Amino acid sequence: MAGDEGLVFTTLLLIVAVFLRKRSRFLRNLRLLSLRGRQGANLAFLLSIQRRNRPRRRKLAWVYPRPQFWFEELLNNRNLDHLWREHFRVNRNTFDFICGIVGPYMSKQDTILRQAIPVEKRVAIALWRLATGNSYRTVALSFGIGRCTAMNIKDEFCSALMRRVNEFIKFPKTEDETRRCIQGFQNISTFPQVVGALDGSHIPITAPTENPNEYRNRKNFHSIVLQGVADANMKFIHI
């Protein structure tokens, strides 16, 4: 019984000590505030003004503003058509033709959160990446989008082209088609009976983890071999 009373008494002493310590700290802060007087009040007033005038954070933090209107100017100003081949390796008419081919596969709908990137801009992003070989970070900064967005757009563009590849890259099947190809080479060279000119290229890749030696070429680096056949007009008829 005596032990229980001692425990209760000790607990009460601890509670009183904590209360007195907090009370003394409160009184000390109160004295400091009183000594500061008008200076403290002015400081609090200035802080409240700064908080009131502080710019509000954007609710949509993931929509980061970037300079992105140079392409819109190039797209809308027909007087700048001479710049298309320099930047995208195709002229303006070819660019519009490509947009018509991949448009049904790359167009996106606007939402209540943001406006979708137009097809023309998506095609321009993909062509810029493929034509210049610039990093995705550089392409993203050039068009005012995110790095991952630029990567996804390029992949979507290539997938859209692959859906229509058989309509444009076709090896001659009929006798008339074969004869026209042969005649085209005879008009520009002395080689008879030539349907297409064949060549290959090594596309460098990072060595895969599985069977890396199977991708090492005769030039002693890892690659995937691309073989292409072109007709007399330098148009691919087989890859």
State how far the Cα of 239 lies from the Cα of 101, in Å rounded to an integer.
Answer: 20
Residue 173 vs residues 67, 170, 233: alpha-carbon distances, Å? 50, 8, 18
| Long-range contacts, 230-237 (Cβ 8 Å, 24+) | 230/196, 230/197, 231/181, 231/184, 231/185, 231/195, 231/196, 231/197, 232/181, 232/184, 232/185, 232/187, 232/188, 233/184, 236/169, 237/169, 237/170, 237/171, 237/172, 237/181, 237/196
- The alpha carbon of 82 is separated from its chain's Cα centroid by a whole number of angstroms, namely 27
Of 188, 217, 184, the C-alpha closest to 203 is: 217
Residues 94 and 127 sit within 8 Å (Cβ to Cβ): no
Q: Which residue type occupies 16? A: V
State how far the Cα of 123 lies from the Cα of 139, in Å rounded to an integer.
Answer: 12
- So what's the pLDDT on residue 176? 94
- So what's the pLDDT on residue 194? 93
Q: What is the pLDDT of residues 11-70, one digit of tens each?
A: 665 565 555 565 566 556 656 555 555 555 555 555 565 565 666 655 444 454 555 577
Q: Which residues of the chain have pLDDT under 70?
A: 1-68
Domain ranges of the chain: 69-165, 169-238
Residue 97 token pair: 């033709």
- So what's the pLDDT on residue 119? 94
Taking only Cα atoms into account, the Rg of the chain, rounded to an integer number of angstroms, comes to 36
- So what's the pLDDT on residue 77? 80
Residue 37 vs residues 28, 43, 182: alpha-carbon distances, Å? 14, 10, 100
